[in-house]
C-alpha cells in the first residue's frame, strides 16, 4: 500500500532540505596546501632520523675506537709488566706501538751522558714517503730535551724547517712525549701520523706513553739495582757473589755437555806494601787500574771478578788449561808492561821511598775442568795451589800444570 504525504509534510521536507548544510569537502587548493605541509613535516622527520642515524653511527664508531684503544691500553700495561729486561721490554713496546692504527711511524730516542741523541728503536718501513721521518723526529726530540717541555705537538705543514723531511706529504703531525725519570727527561717517544690528530688521539698517546714511562723506569731501576748487587763497588767488575753463582752455572753446563772449563786466579804482588807505604787511597787506585787493564785482555764471554782483597779471578768457558795459560800470560804482560802508567802515584804520595821504582805485577794460577778436578771446589782449590806455586817461584809469573 502506497503511503501519501500530506501537503504540510511535503512543505516541511522541502524546508529541511533547504536548511541542510552544503558539502564541506576541501577544495583542490586547500588539499594541495595540507599535503605539502604534511610532506614537509615528513621530510623534516626523515632528515632528523638520518641525522640521528649518522650521529649514532659516529658515536658507535667512536665507542668501538675507544674500546679498541682501551683494550690495547690494558694489553700494553699487562705486557709491559711482564719483564724487567730492557731488551725484551723494548721489543714489547715496538710490537704494541705497531698496533696503533693511526700512527705511521714511531721512535724511542734518548739523550746520552755526552749530550748526543741516540735512537733506541724505531719503525722499519719501506714507504719512501717516510724515509726521512726519523730525522724529523730526532730534531723534534732535541727540542724537547733542550726545552724540557711536557709535550710537543707539531703540524708538519706549519713548520717550514720540517717540510724538507716530507717532500711527498702535505700534512701530518709529530707528537714528542718525554719519559721523565727523577724529574729529568732522558728519553722521548716520538709518533708520526699523516693527519691532524684529534684530542682523543692525543690523549690516547699520552696514556700509552705514561705506561711506557712507568715500565721503562721500573726496568732501569731493576737493572741498576741488579748491577749494584753483582758489581764490585770499587773496581766496577763482577763481585764474589756473582762469581759464585756464575761459576756454578758454567760448571754445571760444562759437566752436562762434557765441555772444558778453566779458571785463572790472580793476586797483585806485594800489595800489602803498597797500602803500608802509600796508603789505602793509592792501594784502591792500584786495584781499579789492574781491573781496568785485565778487562782489556779478555774475550767478551770471559768473566772477570774481584775474588777478594787484591785477588781477581777469570772464568774461561770452553777453554783448556793450555789455552787458559796463554790468556794468563797475556794478562801478566799487560800489567807488567803498562805498570809505568801508575808509578806516578807512588812518587807523588811518597817521593822519598824507593819502592816506586818497582812495577805493579801479578802472579797467576791456572786450572781446568775436568783435568784438575771432578767438582767446582776441587778445580778452584787447584787454581789456588797453582797461584801459590807462581808466588813461591818469584812472583810475576803463571803457575799451571799441562
- Catalytic residue among 137, 139, 211, 310, which? 310
| Confidence at 63, pLDDT banded by 50, 70, 90 | confident
R_g of the chain computed on alpha carbons: 43
pTM above 0.95, yes or no: no
Give pLDDT, residue 30: 56
Residue where one domain finishes, among candidates 207, 228, 249: 228
Same-domain check for residues 140 and 117? yes
Give pLDDT, residue 11: 47
Do 384 and 349 touch, CB atoms closer than 8 A? Answer: no
Do 374 and 255 touch, CB atoms closer than 8 A? Answer: no
Express each pLDDT in 126-166 by its tens digit. 887 787 899 999 999 998 888 877 777 888 878 877 878 87
User: Residues with Cβ < 8 Å from 384, sequence gap 6 or more?
Assistant: 265, 365
Q: And the C-alpha cell for 398?
A: 803463571
Same-domain check for residues 220 and 105? yes
**Torsion angles phi and psi, residue 238, rounded to 5:** -65, 150
Do 349 and 278 touch, CB atoms closer than 8 A? Answer: yes
Do 202 and 175 touch, CB atoms closer than 8 A? Answer: yes
CA dist 25 and 260 (Å) reads 115
Find the mean pLDDT for residues 253-278. Answer: 94
Same-domain check for residues 256 and 289? yes
Give pLDDT, residue 23: 54
Residue 63 lies in a domain: no
Cα 114 from chain centroid (whole Å): 20
Q: What is the CATH classification number for the domain harbouring 287?
A: 3.30.70.270
Residue 9 lies in a domain: no
Catalytic annotation on 381? no
Same-domain check for residues 248 and 320? yes
Find the mean pLDDT for residues 26-32. Answer: 60
Report the percentage of the chain scoring pLDDT > 90: 51
Same-domain check for residues 178 and 254? no
Q: What is the CATH classification number for the domain harbouring 124?
A: 3.30.450.40
CA dist 65 and 398 (Å) reads 70
Same-domain check for residues 254 and 389? yes
In this structure, what DSSP letter does residue 354 have? Answer: S
Residue 38 lies in a domain: no
> Domain of 384?
240-399
Express each pLDDT in 211-259 by its tens digit. 999 999 999 999 999 999 999 999 999 999 999 999 999 999 999 999 9
Same-domain check for residues 267 and 150? no
CA dist 151 and 317 (Å) reads 49
Report the percentage of the chain scoring pLDDT > 70: 87
Express each pLDDT in 325-356 by its tens digit. 999 999 999 999 988 777 766 656 665 555 55
Same-domain check for residues 125 and 250? no
Express each pLDDT in 105-132 by its tens digit. 999 999 988 888 999 999 988 887 787 8
* For the chain, counts of helices (H) and of strands (E): 12, 10
Give pLDDT, residue 346: 67
Amino acid at each position: 500500500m502506497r503511503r501519501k504525504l500530506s501537503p504540510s509534510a511535503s512543505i516541511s521536507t522541502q524546508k529541511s532540505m533547504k536548511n541542510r548544510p552544503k558539502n564541506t569537502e576541501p577544495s583542490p587548493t586547500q588539499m594541495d596546501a595540507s599535503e605539502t605541509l604534511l610532506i614537509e613535516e615528513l621530510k623534516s622527520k626523515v632528515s632528523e632520523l638520518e641525522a640521528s642515524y649518522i650521529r649514532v653511527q659516529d658515536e658507535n664508531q667512536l665507542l668501538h675506537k675507544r674500546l679498541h684503544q682501551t683494550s690495547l691500553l690494558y694489553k700494553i700495561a699487562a705486557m709491559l709488566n711482564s719483564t724487567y729486561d730492557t731488551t725484551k721490554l723494548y721489543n714489547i713496546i715496538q710490537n704494541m706501538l705497531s698496533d696503533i692504527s693511526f700512527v705511521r711511524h714511531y721512535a724511542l730516542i734518548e739523550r746520552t751522558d755526552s749530550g748526543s741523541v741516540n735512537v733506541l728503536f724505531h719503525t722499519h718501513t719501506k714507504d719512501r714517503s717516510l724515509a726521512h721521518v726519523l730525522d724529523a723526529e730526532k730534531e723534534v726530540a732535541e727540542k724537547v730535551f733542550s726545552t724540557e717541555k711536557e709535550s710537543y705537538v707539531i703540524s708538519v705543514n706549519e713548520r717550514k724547517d720540517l717540510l724538507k723531511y716530507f717532500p711527498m706529504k702535505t700534512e701530518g703531525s709529530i707528537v714528542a712525549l718525554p719519559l721523565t725519570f727523577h724529574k729529568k727527561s732522558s728519553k722521548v717517544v716520538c709518533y708520526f701520523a699523516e693527519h691532524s690528530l684529534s684530542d682523543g688521539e692525543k690523549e690516547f698517546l699520552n696514556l700509552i706513553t705514561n705506561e711506557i714511562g712507568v715500565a721503562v723506569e721500573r726496568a732501569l731501576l731493576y737493572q741498576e739495582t741488579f748491577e749494584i748487587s753483582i758489581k764490585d763497588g770499587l773496581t766496577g767488575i763482577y763481585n764474589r757473589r756473582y762469581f759464585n753463582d756464575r761459576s756454578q752455572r758454567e760448571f754445571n753446563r760444562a759437566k752436562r755437555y762434557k765441555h772444558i772449563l778453566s779458571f785463572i786466579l790472580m793476586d797483585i804482588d806485594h800489595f800489602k806494601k803498597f797500602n803500608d807505604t802509600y796508603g789505602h787511597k793509592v792501594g784502591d787506585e792500584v786495584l781499579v787500574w789492574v781491573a781496568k787493564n785485565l778487562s782489556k785482555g779478555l774475550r767478551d764471554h770471559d768473566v772477570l771478578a774481584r775474588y777478594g782483597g787484591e785477588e781477581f779471578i777469570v772464568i774461561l768457558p770452553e777453554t783448556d788449561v793450555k789455552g787458559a795459560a796463554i790468556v794468563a800470560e797475556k794478562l801478566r804482560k799487560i800489567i807488567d808492561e803498562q805498570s809505568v802508567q801508575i808509578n806516578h802515584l807512588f812518587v807523588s804520595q811518597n817521593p822519598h821511598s824507593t819502592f816506586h821504582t818497582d812495577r805493579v805485577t801479578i802472579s797467576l794460577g791456572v786450572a781446568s775442568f775436568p783435568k784438575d778436578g771432578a767438582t767446582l771446589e776441587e778445580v778452584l782449590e787447584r787454581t789456588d795451589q797453582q797461584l801459590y806455586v807462581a808466588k813461591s817461584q818469584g812472583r810475576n809469573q803463571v803457575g799451571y800444570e799441562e
